[in-house]
Amino acid sequence: DAGITQSPRHKVTETGTPVTLRCHQTENHRYMYWYRQDPGHGLRLIHYSYGVKDTDKGEVSDGYSVSRSKTEDFLLTLESATSSQTSVYFCAISERPGDGEQFFGPGTRLTVL
Amino acid sequence: GIQVEQSPPDLILQEGANSTLRCNFSDSVNNLQWFHQNPWGQLINLFYIPSGTKQNGRLSATTVATERYSLLYISSSQTTDSGVYFCAVVTYSGAGSYQLTFGKGTKLSVIP
């Protein structure tokens, strides 16, 4: 199994509070991704990173920011959480962007009350 | 953007039965992956198969890129095969970036 961990695994927070989710990898892969999974929508890309300090937006990036200061860590921040951001968040990694296989972390279940 | 459609949306099988899951996509793709999401939510890589046929134990997959579909075969199903099966395709989205687009999945329930 790819060495990907996510923390926290579960979090309950209140509307308006900031939240940071962490993804940590031990594979030294260049590319990292954040997805959210919602019923009826499958998984959708939020942001991705193609190197340290290099990030770009995905399909559903509004309300989220990311940072990558080290190869192994990719942080997802909700500056002011809203109930619509209640979801399961997955981190993924890959060695190559276009034709590289993606491997997923265990997920973080976030509930915004 | 690209459309990824999976069928059937739900499938109930008796243990020991065989099944075929289908994934259709609306445009050419750079690669295609099949995942199994188990009842605990973990996404497990099954196949990385932009074209051709691969087999792994009781599971096999075939992608016909020119006709824009992929099939996942499950033989002699077991209760541990239950969960949701996702197809995901990678397409070039411009400026050197690529996007992985998921289908909505097929929910498989294998009953003893």
Average pLDDT over residues A52-67: 93
Using CA atoms, how far apart are residues A93 and A102, in angstroms rounded to an integer? 5
Tokens 């075929």 — which residue? B20
Which residues on B lie below 8 Å from A100 (Cβ)? 31
The two three-digit tokens of residue A89, written as one number: 């968040």
**CATH class, A4-112 region:** mainly beta
Residue B15 to residues B7, B12, B56, B58, B73, Cα–Cα distance (Å): 20, 10, 19, 13, 15
Q: What is the pLDDT of residues A79-95, one digit of tens each?
A: 999 999 999 999 999 98
Architecture, CATH, for domain B4-111: Sandwich (2.60)
Check residue A1 and give its pLDDT: 58
Nearest chain B alpha carbon to A103:
B45
Q: How many C-beta atoms surround the C-beta of residue B42 within 10 A?
A: 16
Where are the domains positioned within chain A? 4-112
Which residues on A lie below 8 Å from B30 (Cβ)? 98-99
The two three-digit tokens of residue A108, written as one number: 């973080």
Per-residue pLDDT of chain B (112 residues; tens, 9 = 90+): 899 999 999 999 999 999 999 999 999 998 999 999 999 999 999 999 999 999 999 999 999 999 999 999 999 999 999 999 999 998 887 767 778 899 999 999 999 9
Using CA atoms, how far apart are residues B36 and B82, in angstroms rounded to an integer? 9
Average pLDDT over residues A54-82: 95
Q: Are A62 and A54 in contact (CB under 8 A)?
A: no
Task: Give rounded-to-5 percent helix, strand, coil for chain B.
Answer: 5, 60, 30
Using CA atoms, how far apart are residues A68 and A48, in angstroms rounded to an integer? 10
Tell me the one-letter amino acid at A75: L
Under the banding of pLDDT at 50, 70 and 90, the label for residue A2 is: low
Q: Are A10 and B54 in contact (CB under 8 A)?
A: no
- For B43-71, give one letter per residue: b (16+ CB within 10 A) or e: beebbebeeeeeeeeebbbbbebeebbbb
Using CA atoms, how far apart are residues B64 and B5, in angstroms rounded to an integer? 15
Interface test with B, best of A50, A60, A101 (most B CBs within 10 A): A101
- CA-nearest of B91, B62, B55, B72 to B6 is B72
| A97 in contact with chain B, both atoms CB, cutoff 8 A | yes
Q: What is the pLDDT of residues A20-43, one digit of tens each?
A: 999 999 999 999 999 999 987 789
Check residue B93 and give its pLDDT: 74
Does residue A97 or residue B92 have the better pLDDT? B92
Check residue A14 and give its pLDDT: 97
| A99 in contact with chain B, both atoms CB, cutoff 8 A | yes
Where are the domains positioned within chain B? 4-111
Beta bridge partners of A32: A49, A93
